[in-house]
Amino acid sequence: MQEIRFHGRGGQGAVTSAELIAIAAINKGNCAQAFPSFGPERRGAPVVAFCRVDDKKINIRAKVYNPDVVIVLDPGLVELMDPSEGMKDGGILIINTKKGPEGAGKVSNSKIKIATVDANTIATEELGRVIVNTTMIGAFIKATGIISIDDIKDPLMGRFGAKLGARNLKALERAYKEVLIKG
C-alpha cells in the first residue's frame, strides 16, 4: 500500500489532487481512498489531504501517519513546518519550489528522496492562475510511478472538461518533464 499526504493552502486544490490520483488508480483496477483532513474549509489556511493506493481492498479508516509520499503544494509551507514528519524511510517528498532539492527547507528525515518542481511558474504560464494541484500530479507521476500520465487523462477531463482539462494536462506534462529528483 502506498500512503500519500498532501500539504497545501485552502484554494490550491490539495483535495482535488488527492481525488484525481485516487480516481485514476481506481479506474486502472487498484483500490484507493482520497479524503481531506476534515474541517471547515478556509481559503489560504494550511490544509492537509490524504490518499491511499493498494492492489487489494483497503481496511483503514484513519488518517495517514507514516506516508510513503508527501506532496507540498505551497512553497511557503516548508518554511513553517517539517513536511517529512512521520515519513517512511525511502519515501519521497515532492515540493513546489523554485529552489531545487537543495533548498527544500525544514526537512528532518535524511533517509528520503526529495523532488522539486517550480509548479507556480508552470501553472501561471499554462493556466494563467497559481492553482498547482494538477501540475503537482505531473511531478508525482514522474517521481513515484504509482499512476501514469495515461491513467490521469480521463479523471482530468472528467473534472475540468475538454478545454480546461487539456490545459491542465499540458501543465501536468510539463511538471513531469521539469521535476528534479535527488536521492
Report the candidate in 81, 15, 26, 1 with the shortest Cα–Cα distance to residue 50.
15
Distance CA 5, CA 60 (A): 15
Q: Which part of the chain contacts another protein (CB under 8 A), choosing from 56-64, 98-106, 133-141, 171-179?
A: 56-64
Please list, in sequence order, all residues whose beta carbon lies within 8 angstroms of the beta carbon of residue 43, skipping any fewer than 6 positions away: 9, 10, 11
Distance CA 177, CA 183 (A): 18
Q: Is the dihedral of CA 135, 122, 125, 7 positive or negative?
A: positive
Decide if 103 contacts 118 (C-beta within 8 A): no
CB-nearer residue toward another protein: 19 or 118: 19
CB-nearer residue toward another protein: 40 or 128: 40
CB-nearer residue toward another protein: 38 or 43: 38
In the region spanning residues 65 to 104, those forming contacts with another protein, defined by CB under 8 A, are: 65
* Closest CB 55 distance from another protein, rounded Å: 12
In the region spanning residues 17 to 46, those forming contacts with another protein, defined by CB under 8 A, are: 18-19, 22-27, 31-36, 38-40
> How big is the site for another protein, counted in residues (CB under 8 A)?
25
Stretch 129-158: interaction string toward another protein, x if CB under 8 A = --------------------------x---
Distance CA 64, CA 11 (A): 21
CB-nearer residue toward another protein: 35 or 121: 35
Q: State yes or no: residue 58 binds another protein (CB under 8 A).
A: yes
